Each structure stands twice: as structure tokens, then as C-alpha cells.
Homo-oligomer: A and B are copies of this chain.
Amino acid sequence: MRLVIVGGVAAGTKAASRARRLDPEMEVTVYQEEPEPSISECGLPYFLSGIVERREQLVARTPEKFAQKDIEVLVRHRVERIDASARKLIVHDLSAGRTFEDTYDRLVVATGARAVLPPIPGSNLQGVFELRFLTDADRIRSYAETYSPEKATIVGGGYIGLEVAENLCSLGIEVSLIEGQDRVALAYGPEVSESVEAELESHGVNIFTGEKVDAFTGEDRVRGVRFGNTELETDLVIVGVGIRPNVELASEAGAEIGRTGALLVDKHMKTNVPEIWAAGDCVETTDLTSGEPAWFPLGDTANQMGRVAGTNATTGEDTLEFPGTLGTGIFKVFDLGVGKTGLSEQAAADAGFETVGASLSTYDRAAYYPGAEKVFLKLIADRATGRLLGAEAAGSSSDKLIDICATALWGGLSYPDLVNIDLAYSPPYGPALSPVIQVATILSGKFERAKEGVRASE
């Protein structure tokens, strides 16, 4: 029995390891286009600055290590076509420059996602980069070593742009950030966007919101960015305006595409094509809060999906299920941790919910304990049922608060459940009542008053 996996980052390598563990007899081959497998893509911004010192640190396992587990990982190999009826693949070996045919009994598609490059004139100038793969980071580092850029421009105020801003600043580069919408961190409510912008500004980042880049200028390498009536000098541009799922290979083999544009799979990570499973950034999943199809290209989710796809592709049965996700995420920008889970107020409204929200800026530990810092937390609940729909946090311990809220959402809890929840308290670790409890209590008051309002008007 031969299992082939197309794509060797988080989902693909997890599926391979899982197959090997479950079935020592299975032949397992992974094709990976990039020169290394199992790259920690989330670590790339920190490699730009040298916070992560050596590129090997971002390669979880080399092909040699996989070989020791009897998993064949072929890097610099691009799968060009899947013939599902014949269970064959056309593979291009990029190093050798040759094309060959392979066969499979079962296939896992883990082709990931690629950066979107908007059609801005000058995008092909030297010094204009995206940051998706380790090889992109290599190119940026090599460019920076050659030209020692003094001014950099980041296009896009999403989490990659924000993480890159921090890391370029730490190299002593003057950073400008251009965002097309009226604020950065659009997945969050306006309070969080404001904190992020304040954090960026306090570290000297120039922010331009509501601006669309008209052109990158320069002769051979980039020297400027033009938008509206402004032309900024710049030596380096990093574009992070979004990514898009790599669905073409599977789609040409007959796999259906979902509403989000990513591959459609069932709960068992199976596509509609017999013997083909898919996992990771290339697939669509369910947003468990709204119940709607969603696309959340995140490393941890890809890993979890890879486990399910790898298991089921190995057993050939519907052994494991992947239930869907909450879109939980976090990023760090300078000293500010910013996280979310579930729906923002806007996303909840878009999904048809009427919401009640409450928020608070409070301390992360007992106010008298040294080092106490502020954290902002917002909870969003369904007006009709009281069910928690989402949470956002910014500041110290936001990772903890978001993980508490994510677990609450995962368990389908409602705001009253959070008023008396028994969390861990000690002065070095939190205020007597967790910010989650404090905000849930405020929320509870709002629901009570809303009910009284209804009663009074009856």
C-alpha cells in the first residue's frame, strides 16, 4: 500500500508521521517543492531579525531525519498533475530538471497557500519581497546584507505585516507600514486596532492607513513607494496583503472547491475524489461559531488536520474527525500580545447574530504585585441565547485570556458560565478575579438590564 503526500510543511509532514506510526508496512512518500520540509513558517519574521539565529532552527526535521523513520521526503519536487482514475502523478524534479511518473494507492493533498501579490507597477524591482517560505526569508536577508537598507516599507497591516514591522525595527531600519483599509488588524475590533497602532507608533513605525500603493519606484532596485500624493523613500518592501489556497492541482484532478475558494473536504478530510484526502492551508473548514464554511490558514490547525487526514488515509476508514475551528489566533507586535477567538462584532453581525459586548482594561495580576501590566479584553455574546461568540485581547497575558475564551467557545459556554468559573488565582498570576470573570460579570449586568428593559416595556 503506497501513500503519497503532496506538500511537506505542517499538514503534509504530520500526515506522513501519523501514517508511519499507524502502519509500519505502508510506503510513505512526501513531495515538497521548497528545498526543505517541515518549515516553521510562523517563525520566519523572527529569522529576518536574527531573533531566531540559524535557519536550521526553523526546519523541524530534515529529509534525512524522515528517512530514519522510513518516510521518503523528496524536496524540490513539484507534483504537476494528478490522474485520479489511474492513481498516477506527474512529478517534476526541479533539481534534476526531469519529469517522471509515480503511482499511489492513497493520496493526501497538502499544497498549502501562496502569497497574493497585487498587480502594483514596480513589483518586479529588486528589493520587493513577499514572505511566505524560508527561501523568501533567505532572499530578504541576503538583500539586506548586500544593501543595508535604512528604510523599509511594509504593505499590509495584517499579522504578518505587523510581525515583520517589529523585526525590521529591531535591525535599526526605519519602517513605514501602508494599509489599504482605515485601520490595521482588521480581524479585530477598533479598540484593538488602536492599541496596535499606538504600539507601532511608540516604536517609531510610520503608519499610513486608508492608502493604496500606486507604484514601487526605482531603476533596478526599489527606491520609493508612491501612494496618493506621497512618495516615500524606501530600500526594501515587504508585501503582506494576504494569501490564497493552492487548489489548482487537486481541482484539476476533480476535487471540488468550497465557497471560500479552498478545497472542500468532509469531516474526515476526504475530498470528493476517491482515495484523495486533503489537509492544511489548502482546505476549507467549518467556523464552529457561525456554522459557516471558513478558511483559516494557520499552522496549528494545519497540524491538527494533517493528523486526521493522515490517520484516515492510512486506515482507509473514517477513523478520525476534524470538527472545525474557531479561528483562534495570536500575534506579537513589539511588547503587545494581540489575540482573538471566535467572531469579532463585525463578523458576528455578518453571520446574522445580534450581539451584546463588554470590555475592560484591567491588570494581568494583583495590582500590588510587582510588574502588574494592563490587558484589554472584550467578550462578545449572542443576544438571543447568551452564548459566547468571540473574544479579543491585547496586552499582557492576552495569550492566556484568549485560550480560556477559546476553550469556553469550544465547550459552547455562555456568559453566565464565565461569571462563576473557577480559574487559578495567586497574586503573581492574576487579579483575584480573572479579567475573563470581570468582563463576563459586566456582560451579565448588560443582559440583566436588557431583560429589565424588555420587562418594563411589556
Contact = CB atoms under 8 A, between A and B. Distances in A.
Interface of A: 10, 40, 42-43, 46, 51-52, 57-58, 288, 298-301, 303-304, 307-308, 322-323, 325-332, 337, 339, 341, 366-370, 397, 399-400, 402-404, 406-408, 410-413, 417, 419-430, 432-434, 437, 441
Contacts of A432: 10, 40, 42, 299-300, 303
A303 B433 contact: yes
13 contacts: A51-B370, A52-B370, A300-B434, A301-B422, A329-B424, A330-B424, A330-B425, A339-B424, A341-B422, A399-B400, A403-B404, A406-B422, A407-B423
Nearest to A323: B420
B425 A298 contact: yes
Contacts of A42: 366, 425-427, 432
A378 to B, nearest CB: 15
Given A288-B422, A337-B429, 6 more contacts: A40-B368, A40-B432, A42-B425, A303-B432, A402-B424, A410-B411
A187 to B, nearest CB: 13
Nearest to A163: B426
A43 B413 contact: no
Nearest to A52: B368
A52 B299 CA distance: 41
Contacts of A420: 304, 308, 322-323
A307 B399 CA distance: 28
Contacts of A369: 43, 46, 51-52
B411 A424 contact: no
Contact of A404 (B288, B323, B368, B407): B407
B410 A422 contact: yes
Contacts of A299: 425, 432
A30 to B, nearest CB: 18
A370 B407 CA distance: 27
Nearest to A441: B307
A408 B406 contact: no
Nearest to A424: B330
A197 B248 CA distance: 57
A300 B420 CA distance: 10
B417 A410 contact: yes
Contact of A430 (B322, B399, B417): B399
B427 A300 contact: no
A86 to B, nearest CB: 34
Considering the complex of A and B, which 6 residue pairs feature the smallest CB-CB distances, nearest first?
Answer: A411-B411, A57-B368, A330-B424, A407-B407, A300-B425, A400-B400
A308 B404 CA distance: 23
A430 B425 CA distance: 21
B304 A427 contact: no
Nearest to A21: B445
A231 to B, nearest CB: 34
A408 B412 CA distance: 10
A4 to B, nearest CB: 24
Given A366-B43, A400-B399, A328 B423 contact: yes
Which of A40, A323, A417, A429 has the largest count of B CB atoms less than 10 A from its CB? A429
B331 A426 contact: yes
Contact of A433 (B300, B368, B403): B300
Contacts of A434: 300, 403
A330 B407 contact: no
A229 to B, nearest CB: 37
Contacts of A437: 300, 304
A424 B341 contact: yes
Which of A331, A341, A412 has the largest count of B CB atoms less than 10 A from its CB? A331
Contacts of A406: 421-424
